[in-house]
Amino acid sequence: MQNQKGNRENNYAFIDAQNVNLSIRDQGWKLDWKKLYKHLWKMYQSNKVFLFIGYVPENQDMYTFLQSIWYILIFKPVLELKSWKTKWNVDAELVLQTMIELQNYDKAIIITWDWDFACLIRHLRKIWKLKSLIVPNENRYSVFLKKEWKWLIDSLTNKRKKLEYKT
């Protein structure tokens, strides 16, 4: 797709990594992050893709790999809780980075299933800066998102054959 000047759009994607990863795994498959990046570049004209992720030192090889395939990683410290294996919440970082970058992109692609991003999504829609809201699982995401933006939502579920990691 092109902008009014006939050039490729300059869109940015913002991904809640834990949200996406856990949701995809709950569906019984593993996401190929390289294929996802290429899909976002091709289908949504995403020139930058921000991945919001918890920082665990043992995962350094994974972080290096993701950066080598052009993801921009925004780290959040991880909490170790007895009731959870690990927990991090990147909501504030994702919202903040989306707003910091606002003047640098044409449209935003938000990838999450979480209602906590409703205020961001609503604002981006109001100022004509939202390209798409993508949920990882079309059968399991916030009822509030479904109620308000079902017509706008795309899903990774129906792209499994294209985006699945194969060993």
The predicted pLDDT at position 36 comes to 97
Of the two residues 144 and 130, the one the predictor is more confident about is: 130
Query: What's the confidence (pLDDT) of residue 137?
Result: 72
**What span, in angstroms and rounded, lies between the C-alpha atoms of 16 and 78?**
14
The answer to whether position 6 is within a domain reads no
Any domain includes 121: no
C-alpha separations of 47 from 60, 113, 166 in Å: 24, 22, 25
In a domain, 61, yes or no: yes
* Mean pLDDT on 153-165: 87
Task: Tell me the average pLDDT of the chain.
Answer: 85
Look up residue 21 and give its two tokens. Answer: 């990863």
Across residues 29-34, what is the average pLDDT? Answer: 95
Which is more confident, 140 or 48? 48
For residue 23, pLDDT beyond 70: yes
**pLDDT at residue 150 tops 60:** no
The pLDDT assigned to 78 comes to: 77
Each residue of 59-110: pLDDT tens digit?
999 999 999 999 999 998 776 655 555 555 778 899 999 999 999 999 999 9
Burial class (CB in 10 A: 0-12, 13-18, 19+), 55: middle
| CATH number assigned to the domain comprising residue 142 | 3.40.50.1010
Instruction: Specify the number of domains making up the chain.
Output: 1
Tell me what pLDDT residue 5 has: 58
Supply φ then ψ for residue 37, to 5 degrees: -60, -50
Q: How much of the chain, in percent, has pLDDT values that exceed 90?
A: 54
Assess if residue 81 is contained within a domain: yes
Q: Give how far Cα 151 sits from Cα of 32, 34, 103, 129, 147, Å.
A: 26, 27, 26, 17, 9
For residue 25, the tally of other CB atoms under 10 A from its CB is 12
Q: The domain containing residue 79 runs over which residues?
A: 11-111+129-163
pLDDT confidence of residue 88: 58
In a domain, 117, yes or no: no
